[in-house]
Structure 1
Amino acid sequence: MDNYSKPAHYFERPTEIELIRSMAKGPLTAKQNQTLNNLLQTPADSKDAFIIKPAADFLQITNNQPNTGMLFGDFWYEGELCILFADTNVGKSILAVQIGDALSRGTPIPRFAMKQQPSTVLYFDFELNDQQFAKRYTSDLHGRHQFGTSFYRVVFNPNASGAHKFNSYHDYIINALENALITSQARIIIIDNITCLRSGTQAAASAISLMHRLQTLKNKYGLSILVLAHTPKRNPARPVTRNDLQGSKMLINFADSAFAIGESQAKTEMRYLKQIKQRSGSQVYGAANVYLCEIIKHYNFLQFEFVGPGNEADHLVHYTEQHRQNTEARITRLHQQGRSLRQIAKDTGISFSTVFRLVKRLGDEEEVEQNQEC
């Protein structure tokens, strides 16, 4: 049958498939081996799903590239998707704006190395409204803070109407984000925060999907991305770990690096930065060497002021005799105010059985018997 009389459904098998079939039958011919070698040397800009090269070639490529630069000391490097997480109202947004402003100026934050060339930075602010943002960076005495000209704040457009054109909210957001990158030519973006971009009832799965899409954009455009995330209510006696990331600790699997802001239990105004994951650098700021800081407003700019190294253990709650006495006093006070045992347990975060034993030991056994089921 000639080519013109072949059925319409006929198609030629790809060369790769033919080679696999031949390999199953026996050794390849010299010509087939040459064809296989050519396929294995697919150029780097191929549209195939995989790029196959000898491992040594990747080392040569790396050696020819400039060294990865620090964007915020050892916490965040160029080309990384980094997660910054902390509890609500601890200062994530304050630090993120401070980092973004510094990068746009090419002026390092004191004590932390940073690339010296000014860069265009997109700060996607899904946390504060315009008035809240302005309040942080203005003062009656000193007026408005002069942000770097390459630092852009991005907010949701309340009049946007294009979401219905996409299969999902994720597709809509990623498309809009990609358009912003193309328009601004920015290669550094900060997203505050990932919770605001999630959709649907499966929060963890939604966040993981979003992180995967961000990694794809990062690789496509050579981006450096800082993503802010929350921690749920946590035990102040325990060190900060990856398990404290809200939604799913699996989010960190999609990140190149991660660090957290901890809240000091020794001094209420004190914070500390702790590395949680790192790939480009080494762990400098672990539990034994966190970096202490305070939030202050210099003139018209709310920012972190970095104090020096410290030990995380010194800033956790310690169950000393004094703490025990304070706990007992608080439970007693709430009990005297007429709170039920279950209400006290909920308000204090202490187990019902502990509250029950304490009130009983304090001598109000009749009241305990009446309230233990409340």
Structure 2
Amino acid sequence: MFQNKIDVITKDLADNQKLLENKNQESSCLVVKKANTWIEEAKNRPIPNMLFNELWYEKEVCILFADTNLGKSILAVQIADSISRGIAIPGFKLESKPKKVLYLDFELSDKQFENRCSEEYQNHYQFSANFLRAEINTELEIPKEYKGIEDYLCATLDVIIKNDDVSVLIIDNLTFLSSENEKAKDALVLMKTLKKLSKLENLSILVLAHTPKRDESKPISINDLAGSKMLMNFCDSSFAIGTSSQETSLRYIKQIKQRNTEHLYHTDNVIICSVEKDTNFLEFQFIEFGFEKDHLKTYDTSDLEKRDEQMKLFISEGLSNVKIADRLNLSEGAIRKRRKTIGL
């Protein structure tokens, strides 16, 4: 009998100690568990699927950045369309089933968006019902307790996501959400908010960002993103779009940061694409993999017109695209694309 009482008291003390530890954990800035406990808990969560190749995985906060007019929004809408349908973009990988996507468009008007997804405002592209697009309500009166539209948006975004059962969020673009995003303080607050939102709602987030004007003769690096240090610290992955000196419609995609995979799409293995609108949808079309150096500007390169004349001469001599590419120090895909453009 006496031993039973001791056992009960001991159990109560242990339970109280555990409750106290849990309470301390909740109020602490650190969550401390045994390493094995973390692994056991992680086992019960699904392995993240690819949303856009190894460049962006589920539950990640990812940053896509590029200079203006290189097609960030074009690619982002294409990715959103792919995820909403559960169908991979040709040349790229997608591992998830169809998901509800919310695209916050702070760049285009509805008419501009329509133009990109139609043929002269006719024969419109049909998106999946899983694709939701949002614009800012310009007639909105911001409640007094909020500092501005950015503050109000961040505070209400969680409600919108829950109400519409959104699992993927794309923000186009960072400049709108933080007008002074080059300052570390603004970047830190914004990325903390998105990181917290991603974790609480199991949300996959893609944020588009501009780069300051960069030297196109140099490879893209982490330093090309405005506010790069703070932004990169709080994102899980990042990739960038670069322009090509070979052809105005060519772009290349380069991996900048990754956590769920090895570094695959580096300077010696960038993804080469062209921006096309064959029917009613402006999109990136995969061409091949290549070297970034082949697409960087060189100040002693002949102009396009002279290069076309050289190419015509080589074609008349019966040289293949591969041999012409070798002669002109270009990729075979660039030659193929240029021949199509000028009808050769």
TM (norm. structure 1) is: 0.73
Deviation at 1:39, TM superposition (A): 5.5
Matched, 1:131 2:107: no
Partner of 1:58, secondary structure, is helix
Deviation at 1:62, TM superposition (A): 1.9
- Deviation digits for residues 190-248 of structure 1 (CA, Å, limit 9, x no counterpart): 00001011146974422331111111111111110000000111111110001000244
Whether the aligned pair in 2 keeps the contact of 1:42 and 1:52 (CA below 8 Å) is: no
Q: Using the aligned pairs only, state the percent identity.
A: 43
Matched, 1:103 2:74: no
Partner of 1:143, secondary structure, is coil
Q: Which residue of 213, 220, 229 corresponds with 2:209?
A: 229
Change in 2 beyond 3 A, CA 1:48/1:165: same
- Letter paired with 2:43: N
Partner of 1:189, secondary structure, is strand
Q: 1:120 maps to which residue?
A: 100
Change in 2 beyond 3 A, CA 1:141/1:82: closer
Determine the C-alpha separation between the residues in 1 that align with 2:280 and 2:298. 37
Determine the C-alpha separation between the residues in 2 that align with 1:237 and 1:152. 38
Determine the C-alpha separation between the residues in 2 that align with 1:34 and 1:176. 42
**Aligned residue-pair number:** 295
- Deviation digits for residues 247-287 of structure 1 (CA, Å, limit 9, x no counterpart): 44421111000000010112222100000000011111000
Q: 1:217 maps to which residue?
A: 197
Deviation at 1:103, TM superposition (A): 0.6
Change in 2 beyond 3 A, CA 1:107/1:45: farther
Q: 2:31 maps to which residue?
A: 51
Q: 2:221 maps to which residue?
A: 241
Matched, 1:300 2:280: yes
Determine the C-alpha separation between the residues in 1 that align with 2:169 and 2:54. 18
Determine the C-alpha separation between the residues in 2 that align with 1:60 and 1:129. 48
Q: Which residue of 302, 305, 317 corresponds with 2:297?
A: 317
Determine the C-alpha separation between the residues in 2 that align with 1:36 and 1:319. 73
Structure 2 residues without counterparts, runs of 5 or longer: 1-9, 307-344
Determine the C-alpha separation between the residues in 2 that align with 1:184 and 1:315. 42
- Letter paired with 1:206: D
Superposition pairs for residues 134-213 of structure 1, below 5 Å? 134-140=114-120, 143-167=123-147, 169-199=149-179, 203-213=183-193
- Structure 1 range deviating more: 102-111 or 301-310: 102-111
Whether the aligned pair in 2 keeps the contact of 1:103 and 1:118 (CA below 8 Å) is: yes
Q: Which residue of 72, 86, 111 corresponds with 2:66?
A: 86
Structure 1 residues without counterparts, runs of 5 or longer: 1-29, 327-374
Q: 1:74 maps to which residue?
A: 54
Q: Which residue of 244, 257, 263 corresponds with 1:277?
A: 257
Report which of the two structures shows the higher radius of gyration computed on alpha carbons. Answer: 1
- Deviation digits for residues 44-80 of structure 1 (CA, Å, limit 9, x no counterpart): 9956543221011111122222211000010000000
Whether the aligned pair in 2 keeps the contact of 1:44 and 1:51 (CA below 8 Å) is: no
Partner of 2:294, secondary structure, is helix
Determine the C-alpha separation between the residues in 2 that align with 1:173 and 1:129. 18
Determine the C-alpha separation between the residues in 2 that align with 1:94 and 1:248. 23
Determine the C-alpha separation between the residues in 1 that align with 2:182 and 2:99. 36
Deviation at 1:318, TM superposition (A): 2.6
